[in-house]
């Protein structure tokens, strides 16, 4: 049997397949469709300090091979998560990794402090890249200095594995990666969504309630893949890649470009069992290609 | 039990220039379906459709393991689904969403505009079983858009309004003569159709002080609660139309009358 | 009859539909498929000072609703263009707009000087955004200072309409637009391609000879549209929008987002008559919506 | 005259598990087609295909206004085209590219590997008309991949190599016994197939000092000279395979022998 396990700093994953924040609920929505326990980890939906109602309707626009969303971090706040949601999902045989958000650095720190106390949660994903909130979010992730500040502040209060999720809406993703690693990130995940827009020509109105939103899905895959490769070359910490992964070949490509693990996002909406099918396909690929450990594939793209 | 399954197309029945019923056969015994439930249908043969498309379950037959959908062609997905051929595989997630309630009172009015008729065959059947008395009020802009009246008749009286006046009463559903007068012969109203119509119907229900349920549409990426794209504002905050709806009691909504 | 004419600074266009550089050859390749004279302008393929062989094969990878190219400005140099190509195409009843490239500012200036002398050429498009060349190209377009330098240097030697084409591979497109306008641009065109990558999972090799390439097509449309809107709000000069325009509805959306004219790119490969069909569709839209001048639609997106 | 037209699918003939001939009817009189020309076919019913797909013109019949293509299934586009149904519209740009030359000499050897057989029915027909004598050497890995030998026979002798040895001589085309000995009975070679095979054939041609033309493949975005994506290095710099090829004389190429 091939060895599928990988490690993200101190976090041990039984395989490289996880699901992306905001696209997989808390896992509960998927139990009727697949065996959630086969996943290495679930990145659960974005958590903020306080309850947030998110953005006005409409929040979704379909685009060519992709979609725009403007959910805007609707969630019930970190305390509710810890008291009511986590106890429901902690018994899944998979890592539950909260996605931490804030409008201010203090928010990030407070949320992190609370999560640091939760037994069983071994990593957080610091989201400095949400394009759908007015304050904070992507504003932190597109500026070198504030990205470092947020990372450093959270690092100071967090003992376990700190994954920082980068925004692709930047000129130099490698530089951003280096910055947050310098500031204490144990791993990098990317990409979050690209800032985009859709208009209804007939009504002449924007389709999203917030005018702009975040683009995800296969449309962004070539850019995401390039960014993973850029970041892989730039930093020594593990990279968790995502952006339009729909099938096992996509997952393998992200691994070859330098991902230690991958996140399945938008694909979950179209096929709720996409993630386990991808896992199965990765196993088949390894068998076919005679790869005994998935680690051999990480960054294994052959360049001449 | 929600399922994701490859159904087999049995055929279409075109109702007019732009709407059809498509019947599909499940590979195994149907999951139980409630009136109001919907399904997410994958459109796998168009370069222009990425996400699934939600459709109310029009009819379900547990004996033949078939589902049928009433579809109005409004864009690429509904167009392409109308061209599926007998024997084609179509992947469907179902049943999704909540269901209409069984009202305590007896006299029920169904108000359906356009493709809003879709959930009401199942509803009519269920209410008949419950011994309720249902009246269907169907409205459309043009007479040619009024379809399927014969299918509704076994389950109750069918009233019609058309804006062109060529069928039934002239005007919009909310202008139908049954709404004239202060009292209502109906004790419960359910409605589905364009949002302005549903809001107007909800207004009438409030004025006449009868209970009212609406089946909402929304832009959905998943249909099963994972994306939070399909929210509607309620008195208890935002709710997901796909899991906490599509049926809402108007008292839950923040609609102004 | 509706009024379709628009102006880009001093350049008068009979309608808003033009074709994008590098996707329409010199127009000659399309004469068998459509009436080239119906176009308002042809942005011809990238021109450099010297003859360039471009990048090694393979140069193309298909992606979801898009494609990557790494052509790398293959062309025979500005002198050849002026002496041999322009005389062949100058009699088309449409504007021929050269797309000016360089590895150094001197190159840009020399090419521009030469084009400034050519009778009949009333505008140039300064390409500071080509992602497929090692020196110059996008390097100018992703840095505020060098974008301004290149623009200013070219402005100094060019008397007619100067359109600067921006790279979308930046954090703040509005800021780049303001910068080049400050440096003398008469109009902005955007977007050029997004830097992306494709890997063949089975061979584990990059698909493109240059590893990375430029992403175009409907996949990028939502991001391009958002950038056009950002730029439209930021500058007073006309914007020429592009990125995944496949049909008239797409074109209208770009106009509503702030484009005075649009460029049809990748669509030309799939349907060589796409541009005239789009023009036809724009006319039909205007008739249907009762719009008497296309100018009414520019930036006309209704935001509450 | 290059045209973009909606053809109508007349049908497929499946040749083995992975290849078929698809025949399509033009809406108006065919443009004249030369051996070596190709077409760009639009695949409009898959979410996974964006660009057109290039295929050599396998056969053209000006009397019935039909084109046919020999297609090997290697991915989504070729798979989906194999599922088109009779009557479906398929948009085609044709004829594209240059053609094989008419050699001065009489004895011609055609070497085709895998789907490289596609251009040679038209070629065989044309050469027969010119009074040339053609020998077809077809090679494949497995015997089951050798198809259409009966279609080639009217235009010349058919020789076969398979790597599994189950049909014809065992080995690769370049190992066929006709190549043994210093002299060549053939005065001109044309070849199409996998690049390593074509390079080996070009090597033999050089060694035997006979003229040789190859039909190249490439990744194409347009097929008619607009994108410059499909270049091959030649002694005169990069050339477009789609307009200056796909047929090249090996003397033009920078291939090392
Ligand atoms: C719970 C639910 C149940 C439904 N039941 C039915 C049904 O039984 N029968 C039926 O015919 N339709 C039903 N619909 C609507 C149906 O889902 C849409 O008509 C369909 O998704 C359109 O797909 P398309 O690809 O043809 O159109 P698209 O090409 O996606 O859209 C065409 C145009 O319609 C607009 N549009 C698309 N979807 C919606 C929407 N949901 N709300 C408002 N505008 C929209 C688009 O913005 C665009 O302008 C239901 C929707 C929901 C949410
Ligand atoms: C001028 C020309 C003439 C051709 N004539 C024929 C013909 O007559 N019959 C025939 O069966 N095929 C022919 N081909 C090849 C044919 O175009 C491809 O097989 C087809 O485009 C594959 O499409 P797909 O969607 O099935 O595969 P895809 O899903 O696009 O690709 C599947 C796999 O094959 C690889 N691939 C795809 N296209 C090529 C290519 N051109 N070169 C190398 N690798 C590739 C991809 O990288 C991928 O790994 C011709 C190609 C050219 C350029
Ligand atoms: C509906 C939706 C909601 C999302 N919510 C979050 C979120 O709360 N936090 C976050 O970091 N990313 C969020 N994302 C981004 C995804 O986690 C992922 O980065 C992105 O979708 C790209 O991956 P994909 O193309 O596979 O979907 C969301 C994406 C979608 C589509
Ligand atoms: C094959 C190809 C070659 C291109 N060459 C150039 C070029 O020489 N100069 C330039 O400014 N843009 C070039 N572009 C970019 C296009 O002009 C355009 O900006 C981009 O493709 C986005 O538009 P689209 O999505 O409609 O294609 C090229 C694009 C493609 C696909
Ligand atoms: S559509 Fe995804 S949560 Fe309702
Ligand atoms: S494929 Fe576009 S130039 Fe040859």
Picking from B73, B96, B119, the residue at the C-terminal end of a domain is: B96
- Single out the residue in B96, B130, B156 at which a domain terminates: B96
Q: Answer for the pair C175, C185: CB distance below 8 angstroms, yes or no.
A: no
Q: How far apart (Å, rounded) are the C-alpha atoms in residues D52 and D4?
A: 12
Neighbours of C117 (CB within 10 A): 8
Q: What percent of chain D has pLDDT over 70?
A: 99
Report the CATH number at residue D80: 2.40.30.10
Q: Can you tell me whether residue A190 is helix, strand or coil?
A: strand
Query: Measured between CA atoms, how close is C73 to chain D, in angstroms?
Result: 9
User: How many angstroms separate the Cα of B204 from the Cα of each of B57, B182, B253, C51?
Assistant: 27, 10, 15, 75
Q: Residue C141 pLDDT > 90, yes or no?
A: no
Gap between the Cα atoms of B81 and D178, Å rounded: 56
Q: Is residue C82 part of a domain?
A: yes
On whether both B16 and B122 belong to a single domain, the answer is no
Q: Tell me the two tokens of residue D202.
A: 């070009």
For residue B60, CA distances in Å to A291, B55, B213, D32, D220 come to 48, 13, 22, 55, 48
The residue to which tokens 């730029």 are assigned: C231
Strand C259-264 vs strand C17-19: parallel, antiparallel, or unpaired? parallel
Nearest Cα residue to atom 33 of ligand 1: B75
Domain count, chain D: 2
pLDDT at position C135: 67
Closest by Cβ to B46, choosing from D47, D50, D85: D47
**Do residues B198 and B124 both lie within one domain?**
yes
At D74, the pLDDT band (50, 70, 90 cuts) reads very high
In a domain, B257, yes or no: no
A152 pLDDT more than 90: yes
Look at residue B101 and tell me if it is in a domain: no
Residues whose CB falls within 8 Å of the CB of residue B108, separated by 6 or more in sequence, listed in order: B127, B132, B133, B134, B135, B186, B187, B188, B189, B190
D41 and D63 share a domain?
Answer: yes
Using CA atoms, how far residue A128 sits from A144, A155, A209, C258, D109, in Å, is 11, 14, 22, 30, 65
Do B224 and B125 share a domain, yes or no? Answer: yes
Name which of B42, B47, B52, B83 to mutate to probe chain D: the one with the most chain D Cβ atoms within 10 A of its Cβ: B47
Range of the domain at D157: 107-252
B169 and B203 fall within a common domain: yes
Residue D257 predicted with pLDDT over 60? no
Cis status of the peptide bond prior to D91, with omega within 30 of 0: no
Residue range B119-161, pLDDT digits in tens: 999 999 999 999 999 999 999 999 999 999 999 999 999 999 9
Beta carbons of D231 and C57 less than 8 Å apart: yes
Mean pLDDT of C213-219: 98
Q: Mind telling me how many Å the CA of B142 is from chain A's nearest CA?
A: 21
Q: What is the mean pLDDT of residues A178-182?
A: 97
CB of A22 less than 8 A from some CB of C: no
D257 domain-assigned: no
Q: Is it the case that residue C30 has pLDDT exceeding 60? A: yes
CATH code (residue A130)? 3.20.20.70
Q: How many angstroms separate the CA atoms of B234 and B250, rounded?
A: 9
The yes-or-no answer on residue A257 being catalytic is no
Q: What confidence tens digit (pLDDT) does each residue in C243-256 have? A: 999 999 999 999 99
**What is the arithmetic mean of pLDDT over C100-129?**
95
CB contact at 8 A, B35 and B100:
yes
Instruction: Inspect the interface and report whether the beta carbons of A60 and B93 lie closer than 8 Å.
Output: no
Please name which of C197, C186, C221, C226 lies closest in space to residue C97, comparing C-alpha atoms: C186
CB contact under 8 A, C58 and D218: yes
Residues C36-73: pLDDT tens digits?
A: 999 999 999 999 999 999 999 999 999 999 999 999 99
Indicate whether D102 belongs to any domain. Answer: no
**Which chains have at least 3 CB atom pairs separated by less than 8 Å from chain C?**
A, D
CA-CA-CA-CA torsion for C114, C115, C118, C121, nearest 10 degrees? 180
A156 pLDDT tier (thresholds 50, 70, 90): very high
Q: Which residues of C256-284 are buried (b: 16+ CB within 10 A; e: fewer)?
A: bbbbbbbbbbbbbbbbbebbbbbbebbbe
Residue D144 lies in a domain: yes
- pLDDT, one tens digit per residue, over D11-67 is 999 999 999 999 999 999 999 999 999 999 999 999 999 999 999 999 999 999 999
Chain D contact set for B9 (CB, 8 A): none
| pLDDT mean over D124-139 | 95
CB D222 within 8 A of CB C45: no
Q: What is the pLDDT of residue B257?
A: 56
Task: Extract the tokens encoding C215.
Answer: 């992403």
Q: Percentage of chain C surpassing pLDDT 90?
A: 94
Ramachandran class of A175: left when φ > 0, alpha when ψ lies in -120 to 50, beta otherwise: alpha
- Count of A–C CB contacts within 8 Å? 139
Q: Is residue A303 part of a domain?
A: no
Helix axes A173-182, A144-157, angle to 10 degrees: 30
Q: Counting Cβ atoms within 10 Å, is residue A84 exposed (0-12), middle (13-18) or buried (19+)?
A: exposed
The predicted model scores a pTM of 0.97
> Taking a C-beta distance cutoff of 8 angstroms, is the pair B92, B4 a contact?
yes
Q: D126 and D184 share a domain?
A: yes
Q: Is the pLDDT of residue A3 over 70?
A: yes
Q: Is C55 in the pocket of ligand 4 (CB under 6 A)?
A: no
Q: Is B235 found in the same domain as B175? A: yes
Asked whether residue D71 falls in the same domain as residue D112, the answer is no
**Parallel/antiparallel/unpaired status of strands A60-63 and A66-69:** antiparallel
Residue B102 domain flag? no
Q: Which of the four pLDDT bands, split at 50, 70 and 90, describes residue C129?
A: confident
With beta carbons less than 8 A apart as the criterion, state whether C241 and C231 touch: no
Judge if the beta carbon of residue B78 lies within 6 A of ligand 1.
yes
pLDDT digits (tens, 9 = 90+) for A29-76: 999 999 999 999 999 999 999 999 999 999 999 999 999 999 999 999
In this complex, is the C-beta atom of C35 within 8 Å of any C-beta atom belonging to chain D? no
Diameter of chain D measured on Cα atoms: 53
Separation in Å, CA B233 to CA B37, B245, B250, C285: 20, 12, 11, 34
The sign one gets for the Cα dihedral C213, C219, C223, C224 is positive
Inspect the interface and report whether the beta carbons of A221 and C300 lie closer than 8 Å. Answer: no
Same domain (yes/no): D148, D183: yes
Structure confidence at residue A135 as a pLDDT band (50, 70, 90): low
Q: With respect to residue C198, please indicate whether it lies within any of the assigned structural domains.
A: yes
Whether B230 and A271 lie within 8 Å, measured CB to CB: no
For residues C287 and D136, give the distance between their C-alpha atoms in angstroms, rounded to a whole number: 60
Is-contact A115 A121, C-beta < 8 A?
yes
Under 8 Å between Cβ of D37 and D18: no
Alpha carbon distance B1, D198 (integer Å): 58
Domain boundary among D96, D127, D148: D96
Q: 């084409």: which residue's tokens?
A: C165
Same domain, B122 and B32: no
Q: Based on the fold, state whether residues D10 and D50 are members of the same structural domain.
A: yes
Number of C-beta neighbours around residue A202 at 10 A: 11
- What integer is the mean pLDDT of C165-177? 96
Three-state SS letters, chain B: CCEEEEEEEEEEEEEECCEEEEEEECCCCCCCCCCCCEEEECCCCCCCCCCCEEEECCEEECCCCEEEEEEECCCHHHHHHCCCCCCCEEEEEEEECCCCCCCCCCEEEEEEEHHHHCCHHHHHHHHHHCCCEEEEEEEECCHHHCCCHHHHHHHEEEEEEECCCCCCEECCHHHCHHHCCCCCCCCEEEEECCHHHHHHHHHHHHHHCCEEEEECCCCCCCCCCCCCCCEEEECCEEEECCCCCCEEECCCECCCC
In chain A, beta strands by DSSP E = 6-8, 11-13, 17-19, 41-47, 60-63, 66-69, 95-100, 123-127, 161-165, 187-190, 194-197, 199-200, 205-206, 212-216, 239-241, 259-264
Give the span between the Cα atoms of C264 and D95, in whole angstroms.
24
- A222 in reach of chain C (CB within 8 A): yes
- Integer Cα distance of C174 and C179 in angstroms: 9
**pLDDT score of D172:** 92
Eight-class DSSP state of D29: P
Strand arrangement, sheet containing D19-25: D53-56, D38-41, D89-96, D3-16, D19-25, D66-72, D59-61
Pocket test for ligand 4, best of C17, C18, C19, C21 (most atoms within 8 A of CB): C21
Q: Nearest to residue B24, comparing CAs of B42, B3, B9? A: B9
Structural domain range at position C92: 6-297
Query: Is 80 exceeded by the pLDDT of residue C1?
Result: no
Is C284 a member of any domain? yes
D51 to chain C, any CB pair closer than 8 A? The answer is: yes
Q: Is residue A304 part of a domain?
A: no
CA nearest neighbour of A60 among A191, A229, A206, A190 = A206
* pLDDT for B218: 94
Interatomic CA distance for residues C6 and D161, integer angstroms:
65
- D179 and D201 share one domain: yes
Domain count, chain C: 1
Q: Are B212 and B249 in contact (CB under 8 A)?
A: yes
Q: Which of B237, B247, B240 is nearest to B225 (CA)?
A: B240
| Lowest-confidence pick of A253-257, C38-42, D180-184 | D180-184
Does the residue C18 lie in any domain? yes
ipTM of the complex: 0.96
Q: Which of B217, B222, B240, B243 to mutate to test the pocket of ligand 1 (most atoms within 8 A of CB)?
A: B217
Per-residue pLDDT for C138 more than 70?
A: yes
Sign of CA dihedral A12, A16, A19, A21: positive
Q: Which residue, among D2, D24, D182, has the nearest Cα to D90 in the 3D structure? A: D24
Q: Hey, is A155 helix, strand or coil?
A: helix
- What CATH code is carried by the domain that includes residue D119? 3.40.50.80
């Amino acid at each position: 049997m091939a060895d599928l396990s990988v490690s993200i700093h101190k976090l041990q994953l039984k395989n490289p397949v996880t699901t992306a924040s905001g696209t997989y609920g808390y896992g509960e929505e998927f139990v009727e469709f697949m065996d959630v326990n086969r996943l290495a980890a679930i990145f659960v939906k974005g958590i903020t300090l306080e309850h947030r109602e998110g953005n006005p309707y409409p929040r979704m626009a379909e685009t060519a091979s992709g979609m725009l969303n403007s959910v805007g971090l609707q969630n019930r706040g970190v305390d509710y998560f810890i008291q009511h949601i986590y106890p429901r999902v902690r018994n899944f045989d998979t890592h539950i990794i909260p996605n931490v958000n804030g409008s201010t650095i203090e928010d990030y720190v407070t949320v992190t402090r609370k999560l640091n106390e939760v037994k069983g949660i071994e990593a957080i994903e610091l989201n400095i890249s949400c394009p759908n909130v007015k304050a904070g979010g992507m504003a932190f992730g597109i500026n070198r200095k504030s990205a470092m500040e947020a990372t450093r502040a959270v690092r100071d209060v967090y003992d376990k594995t700190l994954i920082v999720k980068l925004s692709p809406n930047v000129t130099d993703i490698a530089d951003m990666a280096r910055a947050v690693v310098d500031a204490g990130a144990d791993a990098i995940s990317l990409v979050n969504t690209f800032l985009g827009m859709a208009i209804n020509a007939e009504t002449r109105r924007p389709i999203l309630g917030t005018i702009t939103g975040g683009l995800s899905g296969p449309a962004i895959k070539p850019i995401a893949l390039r960014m993973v490769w850029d970041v892989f070359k730039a930093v020594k910490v593990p990279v968790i890649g995502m952006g339009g992964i729909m099938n096992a070949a996509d997952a393998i490509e992200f691994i070859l470009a330098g991902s230690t693990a991958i996140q399945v996002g938008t694909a979950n909406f179209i096929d709720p069992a996409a993630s386990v099918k991808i896992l199965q396909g990765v196993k088949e690929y390894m068998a076919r290609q005679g790869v005994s450990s998935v680690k051999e594939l990480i960054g294994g793209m052959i360049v001449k | 039990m929600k399922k994701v399954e490859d159904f087999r197309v049995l055929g279409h029945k075109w109702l007019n220039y732009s709407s059809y019923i498509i019947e599909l056969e499940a590979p195994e015994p149907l999951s139980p379906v409630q009136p109001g439930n919907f399904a997410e249908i994958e459109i796998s043969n168009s370069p222009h459709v990425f996400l699934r498309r939600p459709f109310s379950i029009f009819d379900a037959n547990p004996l033949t393991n078939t589902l049928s959908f009433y579809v109005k062609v409004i864009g690429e997905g509904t167009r392409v689904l109308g061209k599926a051929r007998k024997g084609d595989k179509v992947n469907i997630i179902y049943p999704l969403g909540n269901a209409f309630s069984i009202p305590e009172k007896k006299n029920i009015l169904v108000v359906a505009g356009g493709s809003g008729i879709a959930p009401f065959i199942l509803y009519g059947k269920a209410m008949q079983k419950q011994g309720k008395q249902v009246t269907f009020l169907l409205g459309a802009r043009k007479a040619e858009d009024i379809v399927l009246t014969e299918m509704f008749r076994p389950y109750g009286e069918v009233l019609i309004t058309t804006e062109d006046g060529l069928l039934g009463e002239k005007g919009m559903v909310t202008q139908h003569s049954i709404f004239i007068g202060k009292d209502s012969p109906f004790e419960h109203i359910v409605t589905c159709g364009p949002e302005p119509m549903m809001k107007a119907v909800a207004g009438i229900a409030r004025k006449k002080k009868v209970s009212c349920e609406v089946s909402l549409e929304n832009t959905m990426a998943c249909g099963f609660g994972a994306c939070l794209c399909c929210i509607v504002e309620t008195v208890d905050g935002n709710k997901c139309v796909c899991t906490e709806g599509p049926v809402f009691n108007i008292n839950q909504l923040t609609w102004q009358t």
